[in-house]
Amino acid sequence: MKKGLIILMVLFMLPINVYAMTVSSRSACLMDTESGRVLFAKDKDNPRLIASITKIMTAILAIESGRLDEVVTVGEEVLTMYGSNIYIELGEKMTLLDLVYGLMLRSGNDAAIVISVFVGGTEEKFVEMMNQKAASIGMRNTVFHNPHGLDEVTQNKSTAYDMALLSSYASKNETYMEIIGTKKYSVQSDRKSYLWYNRNKLLGSYRYCTGGKTGYTPKAGRTLVTNASRDGLNLTAVTLNDGNEYQTHEELYEYAFSQYKNYKILDTKKFKIDDAYYPDKIYIKQNFSYPLILEEKELVKVEIKLKKLNQYQDGDVVGLVTVKLNGEEIHHQKVYVQMKNEKKGLFSWIRSWFS
């Protein structure tokens, strides 16, 4: 194998303007959900009590269980719950999907405990699932001890950054986004009917808000996670211990929408390299977009490194494309070759896909 050829494309070097913001929360994080870029942060890595925004994790585990259509019979675990409830009764039957709506719209602690037993077998096993999921997402400063967020007996702690990671992960699930974006939901169990209104006030007061989850305990203060979308920017905001949380979230979003634009840096349809060593087509499999302020365009560089293979077949990896902002890597992906004369059969397509 011979190595060589480095192609460096400078896309857009001016100094970056600094935009100062002050928020009332103890911790805050504003994140682009697609790229994971943090657009604003305040004490984002300090673990704090998170109250009912815990239920984002409970909801996504319930959704990913694949059992939303199954009927759940409320067990004795419901008798231990207090605080914010949807007031389901022992022995009452309701689908898991309806329970998740009650969990997210009305912050039902009773819904949380019933969901945990149904999905996990026991509350303890479900909590293990919560922590395993947190670790897989990259939530390094998070520990869950219960599925609801009450903190008088056991306590859940996380950071604004970790909760933004969780919200970004969950936002890629269509069912989750549909649930948290619902303003009103009616339910009929085997015993009674319910009508729930979403407690997230931002959903009604801010036109770009697409959903979220509220939280409060006396120890944690007011916690809030929301989502908002505008002009191709999909964002999530997290505030911990903030008495003016809705105004904070709106200000964070307005700041981001006024300062940032989502730029497509890599485009699969326009990606082209003319290289004498590879007469066949060189391509990438994924588009890549990234939020930038205007001055940052000048600091974006795309570097493509190709390795010269003595022999290659259709779908082989022949290099790596790396995107850097101000010298720091923000993205990379593999570069492939497509042979012009090879007729692609079923096995060739399968090989290309898995490579």
The whole-number average pLDDT for the span 260-271 is: 95
State whether 312 and 275 are in the same domain. yes
pLDDT over 80 (residue 100): yes
What is the value of pTM for the model shown?
0.87
* Active site annotation includes 107: yes
pLDDT over 70 (residue 336): yes
The residues with which 75 forms a beta bridge, in sequence order, are none
| Residue among 31, 68, 92 at smallest CA distance from 236 | 31
State whether 119 and 46 are in the same domain. yes
Active site residue: 27, 107, 189, 289, which one?
Answer: 107
State whether 52 and 169 are in the same domain. yes
State whether 226 and 201 are in the same domain. yes
| Residue among 329, 321, 290 at smallest CA distance from 9 | 321
State whether 53 and 99 are in the same domain. yes
CATH number of residue 284's parent domain: 2.60.410
State whether 312 and 201 are in the same domain. no
The structure tokens listed for 95 are 């689908």
Q: What is the total count of domains within the chain?
A: 2
Give CA–CA dist 182/110, Å, rounded.
20
State whether 74 and 221 are in the same domain. yes
CATH number of residue 67's parent domain: 3.40.710.10
State whether 191 and 230 are in the same domain. yes
Looking at residue 264, what is its pLDDT?
A: 95
State whether 146 and 168 are in the same domain. yes
| Residue among 255, 265, 264 at smallest CA distance from 235 | 255
State whether 230 and 332 are in the same domain. no
Q: Quick check: is 91 in a domain?
A: yes
Q: Is the pLDDT higher at 343 or at 51?
A: 51
Q: Are 59 and 104 in contact (CB under 8 A)?
A: yes
Q: Quick check: is 22 in a domain?
A: no
Please report which confidence band the pLDDT of residue 281 belongs to, taking 50, 70 and 90 as the band edges. Answer: confident
State whether 97 and 165 are in the same domain. yes
pLDDT over 60 (residue 349): no
Q: Quick check: is 257 in a domain?
A: no
φ, ψ (nearest 5 deg) of residue 339: -75, 135
- Given CA atoms 165, 166, 167, 171 in this order, what sign does their dihedral have? positive
Give CA–CA dist 117/78, Å, rounded.
10
Active site residue: 25, 27, 42, 52, which one?
Answer: 52
**Rg of the Cα trace of the chain?**
24
pLDDT over 90 (residue 341): no
Q: Which helix H or strand E contains 306, and what residues bound it?
A: strand 300-308
197-248, pLDDT tens digit by residue? 999 999 999 999 999 999 999 999 999 999 999 999 999 999 999 999 999 9
The whole-number average pLDDT for the span 85-90 is: 97
- End position of a domain, from candidates 243, 275, 307: 243
Q: Is the pLDDT higher at 62 or at 355?
A: 62
* Active site annotation includes 52: yes
Q: Quick check: is 239 in a domain?
A: yes
Q: Quick check: is 171 in a domain?
A: yes
Looking at residue 275, what is its pLDDT?
A: 76
Q: Quick check: is 21 in a domain?
A: no
pLDDT over 80 (residue 48): yes
Q: Are 33 and 235 in contact (CB under 8 A)?
A: yes
Please report which confidence band the pLDDT of residue 347 belongs to, taking 50, 70 and 90 as the band edges. Answer: low
Q: Is the pLDDT higher at 278 or at 288?
A: 288
Q: Quick check: is 251 in a domain?
A: no
* Active site annotation includes 125: no
For 350, the domain range is 2-14+264-354
Active site residue: 42, 44, 55, 157, which one?
Answer: 55
Question: Kind of pairing, strands 300-308 and 233-240?
Answer: unpaired
Burial grade of 193 (CB within 10 A; 0-12, 13-18, 19 or more): exposed
Q: What is the mean pLDDT of the chain?
A: 91
The structure tokens listed for 324 are 């850097």
Looking at residue 99, what is its pLDDT?
A: 98
Q: Quick check: is 206 in a domain?
A: yes
Looking at residue 300, what is its pLDDT?
A: 97
Q: Are 11 and 297 in contact (CB under 8 A)?
A: yes
State whether 70 and 114 are in the same domain. yes
